[in-house]
A and B are shown apart, each in its own frame.
Chain A
Amino acid sequence: MKVCRRDFLKLAGVATAGAAFGGLGIDLSPTAAQAQLLKTRWAKETTTVCCYCSVGCGLIVHTAKDGSGRAINIEGDPDHPINEGSLCAKGASLWQLAENDKRVMTPLYRAPYTDKWEPISWDYAIYSIAKRIKQTRDESFQKTNAKGQVVNRTEAMASVGSAALDNEECWLYQTFLRALGLVYIEHQARI
């Protein structure tokens, strides 16, 4: 880009002073569109890394200091060496990962032969999944292969995902999967 960020900020700083003290001209006074303070002006800024793909773009999360204390804006971090402030459509929508009225708050279960999803408790969901993993693993576990070599594996289960896990979570997750004996382990970042 022609205008580097620092030059731009310098110029815009002059502009801000003009806006704050010079007024914006008579046209603006009766409207709602007067010079505005940024809604992020008094927000707390925290840096983070995008959870989606393996590019690892940096972001700034603006959190309200008063009231809800919730995230009010998330945008690219111009000082981050990877993305220099830019984001793709998924990264730009990151705010909705935290603040979304369409978020599903409980696990959903669809019984065989129905087309309806029913909310269930976390306890029930985790218990049911654990039960099924144990049953499948017990049924399919191979101690040795055809040559008699020790393999301690199950080929009846696979793991795909999850894009929203970070590096450390992925390490824990794959450790757990390998302890179960899974060999089919794949992650979004490689796909």
Chain B
Amino acid sequence: MGKSFFIDLTRCTACRGCQVACKQWKKLPATETQNWGSHQNPVDLNFVTYKLVRFNELEDKGGLQWLFFPDQCRHCVEPPCKMMADSYDERAVIKDELTGAVIYTQFTKAIEGMTGEELCPYNIPRMDEKSGVWSKCDMCYDRVHNGLMPACVQSCPTGAMNFGDREEMIELANKRLEEAKKRYPEAALGNVDDVRVFFLFQKKPDLYHKWAVAEAGIPSAPLTRRSLLAGLGAPFRRA
């Protein structure tokens, strides 16, 4: 059963406490930021940035909407990246049985010729150019094993980030969805059955981020390396 995150986007104020708390706990170095017309900084996830609040502006009938999306690894129930990585080295991507966390090890170095988009329907993992090792969020499984919340969840001041046993998080998500629908008729939950990090969207998910949800879903049968190499990053990609 394991653990899950429920991220209630109707409550996110984009304070970026989660983004910084992640860096702080993991002692990840800073990435040089730039003024590119958005508060979203660094511009994208990278080898040392596992959590990133994405900002998106949208104009509709209600005027200007500012959509915030705290992006991170979804910790898929059946992670496609593990299926793919196993064909290179079975030690590269491991699943923590207790929490369900999907964890990248230094053996991800064996993965060659792949992009984050091909490895992951949510385009999350990033490679270090120097070492060839891949990284991403590991659910703070060290904290969770020791009775603490993941750093990002603990820091969240608004209650947007929630973490706990999967069943309870699904229950909470469905309850919040009913409440949110009264105010936001388009409200929806993203990929609850497939992932351990599900979002409550108040607008259509693709308005938040291109890879906010996986449209094709996650394949239930493991893919062979051959079928993958035959250009099969494609079903994960959004048209």
Interface residues of chain A, those whose CB is within 8 Å of chain B, are 1-3, 8-9, 11-13, 15-16, 18-19, 24-25, 27-28, 30-33, 35-39, 41, 73-76, 78, 83, 85-93, 95-96
- Top 4 nearest A-B pairs (CB, nearest first) are A3-B164, A12-B147, A86-B157, A92-B20
Which stretch from B58-66, B98-106, B193-201 is at the chain A interface? B98-106
Contact: A8 with B154, CB < 8 Å? no
Within the complex, the shortest CB–CB distance from B14 to chain A, in Å, comes to 9
Contact: A32 with B154, CB < 8 Å? no
Q: In the complex, which residues 48-106 of chain B have their Cβ closer than 8 Å to any Cβ of chain A? A: 90-91, 94-99, 103, 105-106
- Central interface residue in B90, B96, B172, by most chain A CB within 10 Å: B96
Contact: B145 with A93, CB < 8 Å? no
Q: How many A-B Cβ pairs are below 8 Å?
A: 121
Give bound CA distance, A24 to B101, whole Å.
12
Contact: A91 with B17, CB < 8 Å? yes
Contact: A31 with B154, CB < 8 Å? no
Residues of A within 8 A of B172 (CB): 1-2
Known A25-B97, A38-B142; 4 more pairs at CB < 8 Å:
A27-B91, A75-B155, A83-B157, A92-B155
Which of B25, B106, B145, B154 touches A86 (beta carbons < 8 Å)? B154
Give bound CA distance, A43 to B30, whole Å.
25
Give bound CA distance, A24 to B98, whole Å.
7
Q: In the complex, which residues 159-187 of chain B have their Cβ closer than 8 Å to any Cβ of chain A? A: 159, 162-165, 168-169, 171-172
Which of A8, A11, A19, A87 touches B155 (beta carbons < 8 Å)? A87
Give bound CA distance, A74 to B20, whole Å.
12
Known: A16-B145, A31-B107, A89-B17. A78 touches B157 (CB 8 A): no
The closest CB in chain B to the CB of A55 belongs to: B157
The count of residues in chain B whose C-beta lies closer than 8 Å to any C-beta of chain A is: 44
Residues of B within 8 A of A38 (CB): 142-143, 146, 148
Give bound CA distance, A3 to B165, whole Å.
8
Contact: B17 with A1, CB < 8 Å? no
Residues of B within 8 A of A78 (CB): 154
- What are 9 A-B residue pairs whose CB atoms fall within 8 Å in the complex? A3-B163, A3-B165, A8-B164, A15-B144, A27-B95, A33-B103, A36-B145, A87-B157, A89-B20
Which of A11, A75, A86, A93 touches B165 (beta carbons < 8 Å)? A11
The closest CB in chain A to the CB of B14 belongs to: A89
Contact: A85 with B159, CB < 8 Å? no
Residues of A within 8 A of B20 (CB): 89-90, 92-93
Within the complex, the shortest CB–CB distance from B165 to chain A, in Å, comes to 6
